[in-house]
Structure 1
Amino acid sequence: MADGRRVLGVLVDFARGAGIRRSIFAVATTLVAGAAAVSVSLWLKLILDSVAEGDLTRVTVLAVVLGVTVTLQAAASSLSGLFLAALQFSCGVQVVCGIMQAGSRPPGIEHYERPDFADRIALLKEHTNDVSGFLPALSYGLALTVRVAITAVLLAGVHPALLFLPVLALPSLYAGSRAERAVDEANVATAEQGRLEQHLFRLATTASPAKEVRIFGLGAEIVQRQRRAWDEVTETLARAQLRAGLLRTAGWVPFAAGYLAAVALVLARAGRGEATPGDVLLVMVLAGQVNGQVAELLNVTNRSAAGVRVVRRYLWLQDYAREAVARSTPEQHVPVPATVKRGIELRDVSFRYPGDDRKEVLEDVTLSLEAGSTVAIVGENGAGKTSLVKLLCRFYEPTSGTITVDGTDLRSFDVADWRRHLSAGFQDFARFELRLREAVGIGSISSLHDGGRVRGALGRVGADLRLDLEQQLGQQWPGGVDLSEGQWQKVAMARAMMPEEPVLLILDEPTSGLDPHAEHALFELFAGVAADTAMRSGAIALFVSHRFSTVRMADHIIVLAHGRVVEQGDHASLMEKRGLYADLYEIQARAYE
């Protein structure tokens, strides 16, 4: 019951979003069109009876009424189509926006790695029309119900037994609902394979993987795997469709028998003089219309049932997003300090990715990041460097342990407030195909239109792009230009320089595509910005790099191995220890000789 109320609540919200007046007009015009269509049969019956009786005056009047009714039906049908199309479009926009909000509202990013979340997103994208068409389907279903009711009354006027003809359509409605449920279960069962098929399709048809696909001769293998995934999906769906077809056929048998009986009944009555020629025409036409009406009603019922199921998935996403926000919202909001005095401390921090039963990627990590310091994190691949950065950004929460800022638990801060005090550049940076000013300016939304600050950020990272700030990026857009990998990195770095007074500046190997000299120069720029910011706010500069020529410039170096801190200190002290850091440094130094 509660679930039904929530689904109804979504529909009401969609109707409000589309405009109450538009929604009312859609329902009203659909009802008028449906009622007019049924009444045409009544006017034809009366005209035929009047002709048989020789009443030409009545024939003339009824003919005029028939013409007006047909005109009204045509006009109402046309308007109904326009209003329903507009209603569906508006609902579709709301659904897409709702899906995007559900994906972007959670403060963390763990939901992107959950198969159940991905499956629901995939099903919603595939069946968006089932949701956007839900309100139009209900409007049309209401009109059909009125048409069936009027038809039943007219048939009962010929003979009460004919009232049962629409009732005999109920088995087909039940069978149709069962059939749709079978198809929906098949859609859910094939969601994962469907995502795999789409992923393989993108590998074969998009530019990003094209070079490796061709170098390694993967084309045929990808096509074969895509075909196997597609075959598995289609076979499962085909079995479900066959079962659905058999159910629908069985559901139509009672109505087909009733239709034949109705025709036989009225013909027999006409033969005995108990029914007029108009009655025969009325039953012949309306019985046929009942057949079509029930078929349409069945279709609308199935679409509505499918819409309910998809709306439930939509609600699941909304619930997930709301709960994720609630979990990350502190009971008592503590403002993020504008100035860091002592620093950031991690005490016994362990972390395991949700749904991963393997060993923690971080285990009992305890360290201190002093205010105003420049800290480097090094370690081999898989050591936990990026995972540590994700915890500091609050993309995830620690499995155990605490992270504090000047002694205040990081979880006591509002996530959005904390991130307004961060500056970050990542190795897997995003390519925002916007205008150059926007692609950089979104690093500080409040300064999106501040061309001076955008130019300053580009200048600080040495991004000599020689492009106007209003230049569109991305060749797929009119007038757009593509950038090299290094230029995209410079744009991402400039974006990271936009926040005015961050308390934590993070670079997580964003310069991995640059040569050592370019990276060294960029780090010097970063260190200069960090030092300037540290003087005002005690900001901590934290960077992850695999190049030790850059790392050695840090005030403090943290060495991770297998999720643990194994060494820390400055470059000189770590080299004297002759431990893992010294080994990695010397290996890389020999590689550059």
Structure 2
Amino acid sequence: MSKVPEQPPPEPEQPPPEHEQPPPEPELPEASSGLPGTSSGAPPRSRLRLRAALTCLALQFQATRVGAAAMFGTAAVTGLLPALAAWFGKLLFDEIGHGGDADTGRATALALAVAGVGAVTAVLTQLAGYLDEVVRQRLVVTVEDRLFARVNEFRGLRHFESPAFHDRLRLAQEASQDAPHNITMFSQSAVRAVATVTGFTGVLFAVWPPMVGLLFLVGGAAFVARLHQARRQAEVSEIVSGKYRRRLFYRGLLTDPRAAKEIRLFGLGGFLHTRLVTALGDATSAELRVARRGVLVQSGFALLNTAVTGLGTVVVAIGAAHGRFTVGDVTLFIAAAAGIQATFGGIVTQAGMAVEGIRLFGHYTDLMETPDDLGSGSDLGSGGEPVPALRHTIELRDVWFRYDPSGPWVLRGVNLTLTAGTAVGLVGRNGAGKSTLVKLLCRFYDPVRGTILWDGADIRTLDVARLRRRIGVTFQDYMAYDLTAQENIGVGDLDRLHDRDAVRTVARAAGIDEKLSSLPDGYGTLLSRVQVDDYDASPGVTLSGGQWQRVALARSLLRTDADLLILDEPSSALDAQAEHEINAALRRHREGRTSLLISHRLSALRDADVIVVMTDGAVAEAGTHDELMGAEGQYASLFTLQAAGYQDTRVG
């Protein structure tokens, strides 16, 4: 028999005295805005961006050391070649300018040198493009691999039920796709630019030194303006993140086959379409405002650059007319000015993309450093102790919980004991805290106050993965995976994913084996009409709601070695006959196991050893069915109300 402590006195309307209230919760491991660098005590933004840039550069070599080294080496050589070609061109034009006194052999050699530099440049350009693609592809795989490995390391649900975290995750995903490549492009452009500018600077100094200062002045101003533009674009990306998330939500609804029925029945298509377009329009309007400003600023600097180049060209041309410069000097100057201007323009554009990428990549590095959501502020939270088979009890002692420090209490001083080998039924109106209690038992969250004990050991000291291996759950909001029938059940115990006999055994217990066996490919049939593995693969099939619930039930039953079986509304989608059959099968399956049964259909809980009634997050009643009916309390009222709906004079 499960033991339930005596019912605590009713909670007063006003908050209890200070000594009876839960202490302040530890600070949650998440910045209030959900954006990096915004929490109090955070490092300066410049330091965070530098760290993000260095992290990304290091990742390039971690992803492919040889490829990254070859890419930067090729960029450096490619950057030097234009200045070399321009110098050979100057010498060629000077030689040709001698007229009849020109050395034909020297002119031919210089022409071949110009052509050779061009050929090498063409080959290295193609090689650089290939190396860039190699680094980009390897980098994307490396970054995304680490990102989702980190996501899988979050042991609880707090992050996944936080909209701010989903914004951060979306930005981190975008960063993992685009930011590393942008930073890679900038880094190799910077190497190439340094080589190019170094070569051409020497040329300009030899022809007309003031031109170097003018070009650097204008190019530097354009560089600073582009950096400011990039920062503004990144800020807008953060601001509109929520709008894009809503857009994805509405877009998903409009194409979700599960939502298609209600959308068409209730005529929601236009309503959701309007919401989608509004969210997208608000986001794009903000981005376009920044883009318009950027066009104006960059156009102004482009005109200024053109004016400076034109001025230098006029000065050199006049000097050539007066004999101070040769024709080769003029062509060299024009090539050098155009080369430096193009280099500045390219590096400015790449720098803007890199700064935006670095800022967004900060979301990636921030997420990678986000602490686990379990055990915050507690020495017990790390866990790691082995989890022995349940022999005695699972006990909740004075458990208080709420999802947010400013939110309402969902559980308020719950005391409950589940004795090994017995069945406990959990009853309560919607919002009473039943599903939250399940989340705490699975340790998706930790109590704000109080403890949950597994044979006397605080579950916060136990290894989370091993604890969950000892629990089988059919959730009320179960998943329908776009996988085969075999896999949909087999994921309940990955060690037996391909064990057809074990899968069929639990499918029979859940009353779904006959249906799955009759599918076109039996248990190998894809249970989806949305996803297919191959282009020419045969379409999958869909199941009814009740059939999906049986699949989900079989999934939880596959953990035959689970000590605790939790069934949260396991028959809500079944008809009366199917519910009767399933309840009978479940009684046989859970015999001798510790079970927690949650259902609004009280008749399904009559045979439980103890029935617990929850009200407003607290235990209101506890006892057997007969004891609670005799007490004429809340349970008796609810049971009588349900039974009245089935009473008929024609039924004896």
The answer to whether TM tops 0.5 is yes
Which amino acid is the alignment partner of residue 337 of structure 1?
A: P
CA contact (8 A) 1:33 1:74 kept: no
Q: Which residue of the other structure, out of 392, 407, 410, is the alignment partner of 1:361?
A: 410
More off after superposition, 425-434 vs 472-481:
472-481
> Is residue 33 from structure 1 mapped to residue 81 from structure 2 by the alignment?
no
Q: Against the structure 1 CA distance between its residues 186 and 286, is the aligned structure 2 distance closer, same or farther, given a 3 Å change threshold?
A: same
| Cα distance in 2 for residues equivalent to 1:325 and 1:311 | 27
- Identity across aligned pairs (percent)? 31
| Cα distance in 2 for residues equivalent to 1:269 and 1:382 | 88
Which amino acid is the alignment partner of residue 584 of structure 2?
A: E
1:62-101 CA distances to partner (integer Å, 9 max, x unpaired)? 1222222111111111111111112112222233333323
Which amino acid is the alignment partner of residue 402 of structure 2?
A: R
TM-aligned CA deviation for residue 377 of structure 1 = 1.0
CA contact (8 A) 1:106 1:325 kept: no
1:193 aligned partner: 243
Q: Which residue of the other structure, out of 176, 179, 183, is the alignment partner of 1:134?
A: 183
More off after superposition, 508-517 vs 564-573:
508-517
1:343 aligned partner: 393
> Is residue 11 from structure 1 mapped to residue 56 from structure 2 by the alignment?
yes
1:332-384 CA distances to partner (integer Å, 9 max, x unpaired)? 7321112x2221111111110125x3321111111111111111111111111
Q: Against the structure 1 CA distance between its residues 322 and 261, is the aligned structure 2 distance closer, same or farther, given a 3 Å change threshold?
A: farther
TM-aligned CA deviation for residue 438 of structure 1 = 2.6
2:568 aligned partner: 508
Q: Against the structure 1 CA distance between its residues 122 and 35, is the aligned structure 2 distance closer, same or farther, given a 3 Å change threshold?
A: same
1:177-199 CA distances to partner (integer Å, 9 max, x unpaired)? 00111111111111112212222
| Cα distance in 2 for residues equivalent to 1:362 and 1:28 | 62
Q: Which residue of the other structure, out of 534, 542, 549, is the alignment partner of 2:603?
A: 549
2:253 aligned partner: 203
CA contact (8 A) 1:165 1:262 kept: no
> Is residue 91 from structure 1 mapped to residue 131 from structure 2 by the alignment?
no
1:170 aligned partner: 220
TM-aligned CA deviation for residue 529 of structure 1 = 2.2
| TM-score between the two structures when normalised by the length of structure 1 | 0.93
Q: Which residue of the other structure, out of 465, 470, 474, is the alignment partner of 1:425?
A: 474
1:524 aligned partner: 584
Q: Which residue of the other structure, out of 439, 461, 481, is the alignment partner of 2:540?
A: 481
- Matched residue of 1:350: which SS? strand
Work out which structure has the larger RCO, using CA pairs closer than 8 Å and 6 or more positions apart in sequence.
2
| Cα distance in 1 for residues equivalent to 2:374 and 2:194 | 42
- Matched residue of 1:136: which SS? helix
| Cα distance in 1 for residues equivalent to 2:134 and 2:252 | 32
CA contact (8 A) 2:64 2:138 kept: no
- Matched residue of 2:488: which SS? helix
> Is residue 410 from structure 1 mapped to residue 459 from structure 2 by the alignment?
yes
TM-aligned CA deviation for residue 212 of structure 1 = 1.3
1:27-86 CA distances to partner (integer Å, 9 max, x unpaired)? 222333332234222222221111112121111111222222111111111111111112
Question: Where does 1:282-431 land on structure 2 (aligned, <5 Å)?
Answer: 282-322=332-372, 330=381, 333-338=384-389, 340-354=390-404, 357-431=406-480
Q: Which residue of the other structure, out of 480, 484, 506, is the alignment partner of 1:457?
A: 506
> Is residue 579 from structure 1 mapped to residue 633 from structure 2 by the alignment?
yes
> Is residue 497 from structure 1 mapped to residue 557 from structure 2 by the alignment?
yes
2:91 aligned partner: 46
CA contact (8 A) 2:474 2:553 kept: yes
Question: Where does 1:60-99 land on structure 2 (aligned, <5 Å)?
Answer: 60-99=108-147
| Cα distance in 2 for residues equivalent to 1:398 and 1:24 | 51
CA contact (8 A) 1:344 1:370 kept: yes
| TM-score between the two structures when normalised by the length of structure 2 | 0.85
CA contact (8 A) 1:377 1:544 kept: yes
TM-aligned CA deviation for residue 149 of structure 1 = 1.9
Q: Against the structure 1 CA distance between its residues 13 and 529, is the aligned structure 2 distance closer, same or farther, given a 3 Å change threshold?
A: farther
| Cα distance in 1 for residues equivalent to 2:373 and 2:568 | 29
- Matched residue of 1:507: which SS? strand
Which amino acid is the alignment partner of residue 352 of structure 1?
A: R
TM-aligned CA deviation for residue 298 of structure 1 = 0.6
Q: Unpaired runs of 5+ in structure 2?
A: 1-45, 648-652
- Matched residue of 1:209: which SS? helix
1:568 aligned partner: 622
| Cα distance in 2 for residues equivalent to 1:332 and 1:44 | 71
Which amino acid is the alignment partner of residue 482 of structure 1?
A: V
| Cα distance in 2 for residues equivalent to 1:509 and 1:297 | 61
CA contact (8 A) 2:432 2:616 kept: yes
Q: Give the paired residue count.
A: 585
CA contact (8 A) 2:159 2:373 kept: no
Q: Which residue of the other structure, out of 154, 162, 177, is the alignment partner of 1:114?
A: 162
- Matched residue of 1:337: which SS? coil
| Cα distance in 1 for residues equivalent to 2:466 and 2:607 | 31
Higher helix proportion: 1
> Is residue 20 from structure 1 mapped to residue 65 from structure 2 by the alignment?
yes
Which amino acid is the alignment partner of residue 208 of structure 1?
A: R
More off after superposition, 269-278 vs 153-162:
153-162
- Matched residue of 1:430: which SS? coil
| Cα distance in 2 for residues equivalent to 1:112 and 1:122 | 12
CA contact (8 A) 2:375 2:460 kept: no
TM-aligned CA deviation for residue 462 of structure 1 = 2.1
